[in-house]
A = this chain, B = another copy of it.
Amino acid sequence: MKLDVLASDGNARRARLSLPHGLVETPAFMPVGTLGAVKGLSPVDLETAGASVMLSNLYHLSVRPGIEVIESLGGIHEFTGWRRPILTDSGGYQVFSLANLRHVGSEGVTFRNHLDGAELRLTPESVVESQERIGVDIAMALDECPPWPVSLEAATESLDRTHKWAIRSRQAWQEKDTTLFGIVQGSTFPDLRQRAAEELTQLDFGGYAIGGVSVGEPTRERRAVVEWTAPALPTGKPRYLMGVGTPMDIVHAVQHGIDLFDCVLPSRNARHGMLFTRKGLVRIKNARYRDDSRPVDEDCSCSVCQRVSRALLHHLVRSGELTGAVLATQHNVRFYLDFVAHLREAIASGTLTGFAASVAASYPDDSSFSESPATPGSTASKS
């Protein structure tokens, strides 16, 4: 793995990450293919949308189809049909949110999986080894993701464990094709975040992630975590903000030097009929779109916007048709990929501040991302 910083604008940077399966221009958005595919998209669709890297999830893939199956098929790229770089989350978050936990100890985590209840055990070493075995480009260390809010005492105890696991993960890493990222935890406590960033940096990982956000905390807290943590991470390595976020979350994080993002928002919102456009969110089920002949986003060049109207999307999504979800996902994922491409251009041309202001104007209210129906007069239903 190699990181070349090509341009900067304030703390924001436009860089190029060289990975075994290709180049990733950053800031980059990684569409979420938890089980090996972005819900509703084929690998070809994802390429067409312009994705350079896909995120998948080691926990889910361990439960089904199993690491040994993926390995026997030639690795995760052969298995998924996605030939470009892949980052896998370790699954620590899913173990704590989905599985029936049996025991969390210094050795690792023992749990019954969420599907058939079979007992699984993850250790820092096994998580690194599994990711290396299936040939991911970027592996994530096993961490513990505390809920929000959490007491300082519990956050400190959790962070201590995550740090011990980080040391063991670093030792297990073979430093061959797969790069290993460490994950900064510490909840919303600035001292813990600072300490975690410093201790991880000393371990010399291939890159660094900010974890433990997007777990229900207010936007203000999430952004504060980025502001405390990002400056404490080394400049020569990629920085990844896990599970974030809205367009404005991403702009904010880029302005603080983050390079990589993943988020389910574009694909999950698509399935609920919430479409991203350059002028703001379109809730396509709204009756006003019933006979709207315009494309979803008049400035979008995706095949959906080139081909069909808001009226068709309205009809298909309201009818619960599979194609509604497919078209909406194709568009939303493309929107996010175009959005980070625009951020890269803005950084290179020194116009990031102006672009950030235009994004803030189109997405003024984070509450517009909630899945509740728009209330009259709220910004949530503005198109």
Contact = CB atoms under 8 A, between A and B. Distances in A.
A16 interface: no
Interface stretch (A148-156, A170-178, A305-313, A364-372): A305-313
Contacts of A304: 42
Interface string A46-86: 00000000000000000011000100111000111100000
A44 B303 contact: yes
Nearest to A311: B73
A44 B327 CA distance: 10
A325 to B, nearest CB: 6
Interface stretch (A99-107, A126-134, A314-322, A346-354): A314-322
B37 A323 contact: yes
Contact of A39 (B35, B72, B323): B323
B293 A323 contact: no
A321 B271 CA distance: 13
Nearest to A33: B323
Contact of A79 (B81, B312, B323): B312
A88 to B, nearest CB: 15
A44 B323 contact: no
A144 to B, nearest CB: 26
A291 B323 CA distance: 29
A79 B290 contact: no
A81 B18 CA distance: 39
A36 B316 contact: yes
Contact of A312 (B36, B44, B314, B315): B36
Given A35-B321, A36-B312, A293-B78, A43 B326 contact: no
A40 interface: yes
A199 to B, nearest CB: 38
A1 interface: no
A326 B322 contact: yes
A269 interface: no
B308 A40 contact: no
A326 B44 contact: no
Contacts of A308: 43, 80-81
A41 interface: yes
Given A79-B309, A80-B312, A312-B80, A39 B321 contact: yes
Contacts of A169: none
30 contacts: A35-B321, A36-B312, A36-B315, A37-B312, A37-B316, A39-B322, A40-B322, A40-B326, A42-B307, A42-B330, A43-B308, A64-B319, A65-B311, A65-B314, A65-B315, A72-B291, A73-B291, A73-B311, A78-B293, A79-B309, A79-B312, A79-B315, A80-B308, A80-B312, A81-B307, A81-B312, A271-B322, A322-B322, A322-B325, A322-B326
